[in-house]
Every structure is written in structure tokens, then in C-alpha cells.
Amino acid sequence: MIGRKNSKKYMSDINVTPLVDVMLVLLIIFMVTAPMMTQGVKVNLPKTTSKNIKTSEEPLVLTITQNKEIFLENHKLSLDGLDVKIAKIFENRRDKEVLIRADKDVTYGFVIQVMAMVKKAGINKLGMVTEPLK
């Protein structure tokens, strides 16, 4: 036993198996919970056969309920100051795009009034959200 030194060598490799396991579990959790994270006000949308709108960035969603209440995302607004509020929001945005989610029982005239206020705010693109036919 002459010349025997401490024979322990340090391992310099990283064990990535636990990291991969944790990442896969997180991926599965996010895939399951993401569809449940829908936001907005509950409205009964009209059903139609139309194609999806391709958007470059997240559009602003304007919701009109059956009782003619207007919601900008989740914030309730009145029709009077709607154009000023939308113009203020889109001051620094390049793509000015608004999607309107109107309940199918709201009168056509009220929806047109809201659309006119949105156009008055200087919005370039205005879309209507519907549900697909089954």
C-alpha cells in the first residue's frame, strides 16, 4: 500500500434527469390549465361559419352584454366616453385593432353605435367575435 493516495475523483457532469422531470410536469400542468384561463364577460355570441382573424398582437376586446352594458376587457364603461378611452389606450400602439363580442340579443342599432364610437377613436381594424357552428 505504498504510494496510495486519496482516490476519490470529483464528478463534473450535471445530472439533468431531475430537471427534465420537473419541466415535463410543469409543461403538463400548464397545458391542462391554459384553456381554463379564459377571461372576459359572459355573453351569448351569435353562431356563424366564418374564418378566424389573424392578428399580429393581442387585440383589445370590447364586450356588449344583453343589457347593453359595455365592457373593455373586464372594465365596465359607458357609451359616452368610449371613444376617448379607446383613443388613449391606442396612443402608443402601432396596430389599432379591436374585437367586439356582442350578445346575439342586443339590438343592431346599439352595436352600430358602439362601432361608430370605436371608429371615431381612430381604430383601423374592427372585428366581430362569433361562435362556430357545430
d(CA 24, CA 34): 15
> Tens digits of per-residue pLDDT, 39-85?
556 666 666 666 665 655 677 888 899 898 998 888 888 888 888 88
Q: What CATH number corresponds to the domain at position 55? A: 3.30.420.270
> Domain range spanning residue 85?
47-132
* Residue 91 identity: E
The answer to whether residues 56 and 95 touch, using CB atoms and an 8 Å cutoff, is: yes
Q: What's the total number of domains in the chain?
A: 1
What's the full length of the chain, in residues?
134
> Tens digits of per-residue pLDDT, 88-129?
888 887 778 888 888 888 888 999 899 988 888 888 788 888
Task: Assess if residue 36 is contained within a domain.
Answer: no
Task: Assess if residue 57 is contained within a domain.
Answer: yes
**3-class secondary structure, 30:** helix
Give the Å distances, CA to CA, from 97 to 23, 44, 93, 116, 125.
Answer: 36, 22, 9, 14, 5
